[in-house]
């Protein structure tokens, strides 16, 4: 059994095997959302360093330290949210809790 036989569309023959490799539709959606998320992350990161060194007047080293701390927190909070949603809260309660937390943080800042 070849490794790419699992990805063939039903009803295809081995003669057209190289032309008919199928991708699930959600695979393209996930790739597009992941790409847009990365564009947004790096865009905010670049704008944050400009804001910290410009209007706030921080030194470049202090701004880089702050941006690195922010980037690390962003990366770790994905894991913390996933663990909380999977082990305790469930999908809908986790989204509700994150939304309320987001509103509270943005209301008082």
In the prediction, which pLDDT does 62 show?
A: 94
Residue 35 is predicted with a pLDDT of 86
Res. 90: pLDDT tops 70: yes
Q: How far apart are alpha carbons 54 and 107 in whole angstroms?
A: 25
pLDDT at residue 17, rounded to an integer: 52
What share of the chain has pLDDT > 70, as a percent?
75
Structure tokens that stand for 100 in this block? 């309320």
Looking at the whole model, is its pTM more than 0.85? Answer: no
Q: Is the pLDDT of residue 89 over 90?
A: no
């Amino acid at each position: 059994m070849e490794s790419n036989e699992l990805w063939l569309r039903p009803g295809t023959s081995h003669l057209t095997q190289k032309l008919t490799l199928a991708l699930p539709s959600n695979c393209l959606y996930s790739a597009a959302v992941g790409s847009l998320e990365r564009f947004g992350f790096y865009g905010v990161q670049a704008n944050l360093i400009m804001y910290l060194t410009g209007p706030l007047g921080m030194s470049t080293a202090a701004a880089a330290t702050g941006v690195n701390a922010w980037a690390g927190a962003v990366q770790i909070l994905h894991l913390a949210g996933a663990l909380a949603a999977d082990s305790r809260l469930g999908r809908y309660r986790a989204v509700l809790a994150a939304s309320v937390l987001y509103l509270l943080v943005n209301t008082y800042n």
